[in-house]
Amino acid sequence: MENETKQAAKNGSSFVIKALNAIEKIGNKLPDPAVLFFIFLILVWVLSALLSNMTFTEIDPRSGQPIVINNQLTGTSIAAFLSNMVTTFTGFHPLGVVLVALLGVGVAEHTGFINASLKGVLGFTSPKILTPMLVLVGVVSNIAADAGYVLVIPLGAVIFYAAGRHPLAGIAATFAGVSGGFSANFIPNSLDPLISGLTQSAAQIIDPSRAVNPLSNWFFMSASCLVIVAVGWYVTDRIVEPRLKGVEVDGDEDEMPKMESLGSNEKRGLWVGAITLVLGLIVLAAVSVPMSSPMRAPTSYKLTKDSFETLKKADISEDVLKKAESIRDREVFGKTAFEGALKTAIGDEEAKKSAGVFLSSATQTPPQLTAFSAPLMKSIVPLIFLLFVLPGIAYGYAAKTVKSHRDIVEGMSKSMSSMGYYIVLAFFASLFIAAFAQSNIGALMAIKGANFLKALAMPGQVTIVGIIVLTGIVNLMVGSASAKWALLAPIFVPMLMQLGLSPELAQAAYRIGDSSTNIITPLMPYFPLVVVFAQKYVKDTGIGTIVSLMLPYSIAFFVTWVIFLTIYWLLGLPLGLQAPYTYP
């Protein structure tokens, strides 16, 4: 009986491996990713021209009007496409993030600081916890926005290779943590207030007084970290890495990390580099922590329900209050910005007369470090550059791997030379993503899917699973978490509230679906970068390779996260702060 069980498990494993190999083979037969994005661009143009002549009844929640597909093949659209081509490319967010961060990482790598640091870390890290450690680091890296894609994923490959394991398994594990576990985190980040703000606006369609706490999913997402790490650990060690045993690492031998024991120069350089890094962090903390810090966002102002009650008592006219409704519950950073928003809402003359009353009645939040508008949050990538380049330089001079400033420039140049292929990919990806967004095709698909789910009129618990499934499907085509929720929240949140389920529960379901399929869609802006990182170790890596590596994570995350949410819900554990499961 035992032998039969083992054979069945072996056959099941064999089937999974064959299926993943087939996916990889088919995926790698697709055109080069750059050409694929160009083909997608042409398809968007053609589809937009065909669909622009059709009338749709679906309401676009962004405008309150029936959604319209914008024809991308009109003379005006083509002229705009050509005239904006350069700025579309240079303004492609991942491009600047990647290049600036890698300038600093390139110096630290060229001087040997990263290699020596990894030797030191691997010297006391148990091989048994290497995988969960990398997955966890990937998950936590989300507090630094997109930095995890640029920094953590390539380091995962280096660490695995240095430990004698397959580098693609390291890339897969860290990519799973960074992107597949995107919503899970112990530490609140800038995504929380952004998503909750959209949820609150959607909830107020049904209940104008309904508020949603920015940390309404914090407890659930913190607990989800443990699930993501455990599942990522199992998938990496039991499915992904065994499948890679026959995949040869054929990258440039000179580019591979060397893991001999630390020499005396390296030890000295590592100490100097580490001290430089610590001093840099101390200076950053000293500059950022004080409430008067220029790294903080200005004091924010928000007109709440209580604010309007106060304004009524201050004899502000009903007409003015009605106009001010347009900025109700909107958080505005800085006194000047608030006054500007007030002028736009109620007019210059009225704003001059009553600005003081509005300011005094608004809810004020002290200067924050983690707000979207905080200079610290906007400086994450430059800080990564500095916190790699300075310790890298210090290490180089102390370890005698740097003789002059020319070696530092050479390190930066070397890192940029490896990004040539990614820059080509980014060019075509930026054009496709811009055209897709401008056409409204993605928005139409999202709204139609949400309306279909609503029309099914399923029980609340089943609808929650349906929301997760639909979000995961839409995520394959519309990458931005906030853009998708801006489209879906005005449909899902009121629908669930009418079924007696809370906005906070709808938001948690959305975040599960939004994270689980990030890692298998080539349309995700950072997906081409992961392909480039993998090609450093296995030259013929293609889209199919990465999709086949990440599909087990995507399925496992999706299934276990849904089960975890269900159990968490049944146990009645709190989702977060001020976050009930039911409404009202």
Give the C-alpha distances (Å, rounded to integers) separating 330 from 273, 419, 497: 44, 40, 22
In a 13 Å sphere around the CA of 117, the CA atoms on its Cβ side amount to 20
Q: Are residues 306 and 209 in the same domain?
A: no
Determine the Cα–Cα distance for residues 459 and 455; give it in Å rounded to an integer.
12
Burial letters for 538-556: b for 16+ Cβ neighbours within 10 Å, e otherwise? beebbbbbbbbbbbbbbeb
Q: Are residues 322 and 440 in the same domain?
A: no
Q: Give me 437's structure tokens.
A: 């967004």
What letter represents residue 48's amino acid?
S
What is the per-residue pLDDT for 237? 94
Determine the Cα–Cα distance for residues 554 and 549; give it in Å rounded to an integer.
10
Please report where in the chains the tokens 């088919």 appear, as a residue. Answer: 26
Q: Are residues 265 and 317 in the same domain?
A: no
What is the per-residue pLDDT for 9? 39
Is residue 279 in some structural domain? no
What is the per-residue pLDDT for 2? 37
Q: What average pLDDT values come out for the chain (584 residues) when binned by 10 residues?
A: 39 64 75 83 94 88 84 94 94 81 85 78 74 88 69 85 90 92 75 79 77 86 94 95 89 68 86 94 93 89 87 87 84 87 88 87 85 78 88 93 92 86 84 86 79 78 87 76 74 81 92 89 82 90 90 94 94 90 87
Q: Are residues 264 and 321 in the same domain?
A: no
Is residue 97 in some structural domain? yes
Is residue 291 in some structural domain? no
Q: Are residues 559 and 472 in the same domain?
A: yes
Which of 343, 366, 389 is a domain's end point?
Answer: 366
Is residue 16 in some structural domain? no
Which of 346, 366, 386 is a domain's end point?
Answer: 366
| 139 and 176 Cβ atoms separated by less than 8 Å | no
Q: Are residues 218 and 323 in the same domain?
A: no
What is the per-residue pLDDT for 482? 66
Is residue 389 in some structural domain? no
Q: Calculate the CA 305 to chain-centre distance.
A: 32
What is the per-residue pLDDT for 242? 92
Q: Give me 210's structure tokens.
A: 């309904």
Q: Give me 497's structure tokens.
A: 């509230």
Q: Are residues 457 and 500 in the same domain?
A: yes
Q: Are residues 465 and 538 in the same domain?
A: yes
Determine the Cα–Cα distance for residues 522 and 350; give it in Å rounded to an integer.
51
Is residue 383 in some structural domain? no
What is the per-residue pLDDT for 372? 64
Q: Which of 42, 40, 99, 101 is nearest to 423 (CA)?
A: 99
- The structure's pTM equals 0.72
Q: Are residues 178 and 306 in the same domain?
A: no
Is residue 480 in some structural domain? yes
SS (H, E, C) 409-440: HHHHHHHHHCCHHHHHHHHHHHHHHHHHHHHC
| 467 and 510 Cβ atoms separated by less than 8 Å | yes
DSSP designation for 582: B
Q: Are residues 308 and 200 in the same domain?
A: no
Q: Sign of the CA dihedral 429, 432, 433, 434?
A: positive
Residue 521's domain comprises 23-269+402-584
What is the per-residue pLDDT for 391? 93
Which of 350, 366, 382 is a domain's end point?
Answer: 366
| 188 and 221 Cβ atoms separated by less than 8 Å | no
Cβ-Cβ contacts under 8 Å for 237 (sequence gap 6 or more): 131
What is the per-residue pLDDT for 7? 42
Give the C-alpha distances (Å, rounded to integers) separating 507 from 19, 115, 121, 313, 573: 33, 41, 38, 35, 16
What is the per-residue pLDDT for 12? 45
The structural domain count of the chain equals 2
Is residue 14 in some structural domain? no
What is the per-residue pLDDT for 14? 65
What is the per-residue pLDDT for 478? 65
Q: Are residues 99 and 230 in the same domain?
A: yes
Q: Are residues 359 and 482 in the same domain?
A: no
Per DSSP, what are the bridge partners of residue 301? 332, 364
